[in-house]
Structure 1
Amino acid sequence: MASEVRVEEGPFGPEVRPRGAVEQTVLYLHGDPRLVGTPQDALPTARELARATGYAVLCARYRPRFPQSLEDVYAAWEHCRSGGGAVAVAGKRLGGALAAGLLVRLRDEGAAPPSCAVLTSPLLDFTLDAPSLLLNAAADRTVDADSLPVRAAAYTGATPRTTPLLSPLHGNLHGLPPVQLHAAGTEVLLDDSLAFATRAAHSGVAVDLRIYEDASALGMRHVGAMAEFLRMWCPSGLVSQTGIR
């Protein structure tokens, strides 16, 4: 795998590229516990992922409001697929919501999907009704559960909370590409991953669900599991979104 990578500023955000020719791209969508952040926050993970896979990783910018955020992600997706190679999508927390929303949008439009998707601690239901939001509030030191409703309201605006492109857990999950989910058993968003994995599997989607004992274990082990999943479903020589390599 690639041992050296370089970071370039692209039109849709920083791009981490291994040395040499690259066939595959991962569209990576950042997300922090406060539903804010910048693409630069994702660079440490993107560097690890690029080294582990040999793939290019685009850390996309997006506006901090819905639906503008999904429009930005869609534009970044179009940029990635224009390169002619296989493309996967990945996201963390709010980025996970946008990654799943992109899958639903592409499926609804009849467009070619990503090769696969990886969602880490994703926020997939903006109704914020999941029991884990209360049960794990004391154990999860990464997310302030008390402020989450306020931040979610600022992000969603007037969009109904059950809109599938916003809250993919409320959508039809049939026809999605293979999905890997990562979550800590102690995190407040745990139930979003569990429910999505269950519904997606019942809809015939290939699902790989990884639950870690805590956030520390997730942080140490999830990139390796992501890389293995991406190499399985987004290998070299795969039929691209715009042609055949």
Structure 2
Amino acid sequence: MLQPALEAGLRQTMKRLVRPLLTPRLPISAQRLLIRQAYRSSIPPRGTRYSRETLGGVPALRTCWSHTPAGVVLYFHGGAYIIGSPDTHRGITGHLAKASGCEVIAPDYRLAPEHPFPAALDDAEASYLALLEGGRPPHRIAFAGDSAGGGLCLALALRLKAAGQPLPSSLTLFSPWTDLTQSRLYSPASEPVLQAEWTRHAARLYAGDHALDTPLLSPVFGDLSGLPPMLIQVGGDEILLNDSERLATRARRQGTEVRLDIHNGLWHVFQVHSGPLARATAAMATAGEHIRTHLTDGSPPAPAPPSGAWASA
């Protein structure tokens, strides 16, 4: 009985306190300030340790839980490319560090409108290349991200592939924003978090003069063949559900290993409630397992099993 009540309470909190902040009618400076306060309810697990560093000239927050990390997760926070930071996402990176057994490094990439595309992507690439130059092998690095950060994971993987750079071991995407054209948004009966007018406005601020269907902006339109194994988790009650479903379908058709988990009745980036909310904690455990499974010793990988899709009740 406690979990259904908690889930209902969190849904109402998101709908009444968070969703009203995500509107183009509110100045971005105010959105950034208020969303920092809202994320205080996302608490990392006990024993999480944080430190600051710079990767390729980009400030970053390192999150550790294990004293013997198995690898590195390069994590890109969400916020529609206009709000958010590694500090707002301490809860989610803390739980991911615990679930994966890895250290999680979140670059504080530049935001629009001050720094439109490709600033965020440039910072993401610089961070990853700095890890490689520092001696981190790509097969011990994973990418992960939520919302716009999930889209940034994919865009970075596409850019690296095109440049012939080594790719990470896996991709973990929480409610990824993969289509900035918003031409095929889902219409849930109730959307507790996102407003389409807000994401539409943010897309234009980030894209600047570039076409919204440019693959490095909207990676669902890119060539997804040859990308690392992908885990996609998405709520059943969010306008970005179709982004995840289309991404999974397209990647699978192009030969990329994909697992799609649809969590019915949950909302955009529900993983921020890991710890108190059992379903979020279980999803985070799945994400950690996906990351650990694909970290390798550098030898050729075994043949991938058939791609599948799961729906979580």
TM-score by length of 1: 0.89
Alpha-carbon deviations, 1:90-136, whole Å to 9, x = none?
0111101110001101111111101000111111011110141xx12
SS in 1 for 2:259: strand
C-alpha displacement at 1:218, in angstroms?
4.3
- Name the CA distance, whole Å, in 1 between partners of 2:196 and 2:82: 12
Alpha-carbon deviations, 1:34-75, whole Å to 9, x = none?
841111111111111111222110011111121011000011
SS in 2 for 1:211: strand
1:144 aligns with 2:195: yes
1:225 aligns with 2:272: no
- Aligned residue number for residue 192 of structure 1: 243
Distance 1:230 1:19, change over 3 A: closer
Choose from 11, 18, 22 the match for 2:65. Answer: 18
- Aligned residue number for residue 298 of structure 2: 239
- Aligned residue number for residue 143 of structure 2: 89
SS in 2 for 1:164: coil
Q: Where in structure 2 are the equivalents of 1:168-207 lying within 5 Å?
A: 168-207=219-258
1:38 aligns with 2:85: yes
Distance 1:19 1:201, change over 3 A: closer
- How many residue pairs get aligned? The number is 234
Letter in 2 for 1:174: S
Distance 1:213 1:175, change over 3 A: same
Alpha-carbon deviations, 1:6-39, whole Å to 9, x = none?
1001113110123534341000000036841111
Cα RMSD between the aligned structures?
Answer: 2.0
- Comparing 49-58 with 194-203, which one deviates more in the overlay? 49-58
- Indicate if the aligned counterparts of 1:4 and 1:51 stay in contact, CA closer than 8 A: no
Alpha-carbon deviations, 1:170-222, whole Å to 9, x = none?
11111111011011111000001000000000011000101001336943132
Q: Where in structure 2 are the equivalents of 1:69-84 lying within 5 Å?
A: 69-81=120-132, 82-84=134-136
- Indicate if the aligned counterparts of 1:7 and 1:14 stay in contact, CA closer than 8 A: yes
SS in 2 for 1:31: coil
Letter in 2 for 1:230: I
Q: Which runs of 5+ in 2 are unaligned?
A: 1-44, 272-279, 300-313
Choose from 168, 171, 176 the match for 1:122. Answer: 176
TM-score by length of 2: 0.70
- Aligned residue number for residue 96 of structure 2: 49
Larger Rg: 2
1:98 aligns with 2:152: yes
Q: Which runs of 5+ in 1 are unaligned?
A: 241-245
SS in 1 for 2:89: helix
- Name the CA distance, whole Å, in 1 between partners of 2:257 and 2:92: 24
SS in 2 for 1:118: strand
- Aligned residue number for residue 157 of structure 1: 208
